[in-house]
Homo-oligomer: A and B are copies of this chain.
Amino acid sequence: MTVEVHDGEVDIVIAALQPNLTPFFEAWRPFFSRFHVIVVKDPELAAELQIPSGFDVKVYTKSDIQGLLGATSIDFSGHSCRYFGYLVSRKKYVISIDDNCLPAKDPAGVTVDAVTQHMINLKTPATPFFFNTLYDPYRKGADFVRGYPFSLREGVECMLSCGLWLHNADYDPMTHVVKRNQRNTNYVDAVMTVPLGAMLPVSGINVAFNREVLGAVMFPGLRIRKQGNHRWDTLEDIWNGLCAKVVCDSLGYGMKTGLPYVMRSDAEAGKALESLKDWEGVKLMDDVLPFFQSVKLSRNGVTVDGCVKELAGIVREKLAPKNPVFAKAADAMEEWTKLWKSHGAQSA
């Protein structure tokens, strides 16, 4: 499957959690150089960023965030700084990859163009209403299998593409500590639509989405106590993905997972151990998932913005009594719809 990708329809958004971005940019040069790149510097990071020349880059810092938004209840520190990039982008699509990830190689040894693969995922239809056992039916060499209703073979628009990671997989701190020597080496050559009603843990490490349509639900909502700038300390992307899935399911859009892979550098396992004592995500998810599995949005929320407002209200009613972090998440979701209306909902 080939799709045309125009320079002017994609922004690459990078959260800078470390100052030296030179190896990152050099490795991604063949794939990023023709696109506008938005770098959002972690507001907690003091050192000056190093970015090689030859890119169309715009860097946003703490003062840019404060200058544009003023007082806001949303915390853009750590991994959450990338969401500011989603707000100031003016492109139809956004691709965001963590700054500790480099291009992966496929089993044939070819370097993976993650940008093109994400765009293929977003520009070809999704099939959320029936599972195709041969995975993406639009892929070259594949098709819909016997029994797949012809009325569903047009598919629906795909709004989010969740890519994966070789080497250092995206585990919670407990798993990092227990399996400190385990590395993901299994390159699964498949893209699939996550079925209607099924929830998945979207990782923000390597993700792309249709910003024009989905932007109002791409927020850093759930912030757990003592969140650092390690992925294993965060649930903001998981929460965001669950909200996005509920909204996509409600509006008839699709989400895909699988290719492209990126090569993720080693976590510092010792630090994962330090993270354990403050990590509340384990018990939070046991409340969060049943909530998202059962939540049903009304037919009134016919826009993403309307869906987010409704969902924030249900979070406040059903989850906030269990833990104050959910009340804060509902606040952030409502705040985001305002920020998006003022700053995000514009295209080039």
Contacts and interface: CB of A to CB of B under 8 A. Distances in A.
A319 B186 CA distance: 44
Identical copies in the complex:
2
| Candidate in A107, A147, A152 with the most chain B CB atoms within 10 angstroms | A147
Interface in A123-173: 129-135, 139, 141-152, 162, 164, 169-172
A238 interface: yes
A293 B130 CA distance: 9
Given A286-B151, A289-B130, A170 B146 contact: yes
Contact of A282 (B150, B194, B198, B288): B150
A201 B145 contact: yes
Contact of A147 (B134, B186, B235): B235
A154 to B, nearest CB: 13
B257 A133 contact: yes
A69 interface: no
A200 B143 contact: no
A229 to B, nearest CB: 15
Contacts of A184: 134, 141-142
Given A107-B107, A134-B184, A197 B200 contact: no
B145 A289 contact: no
A133 B195 contact: no
Contacts of A152: 289
A149 B287 CA distance: 9
B149 A285 contact: yes
A306 interface: no
Q: Which 6 A-B pairs have the closest CB atoms?
A: A147-B201, A195-B198, A147-B238, A131-B200, A149-B285, A188-B190
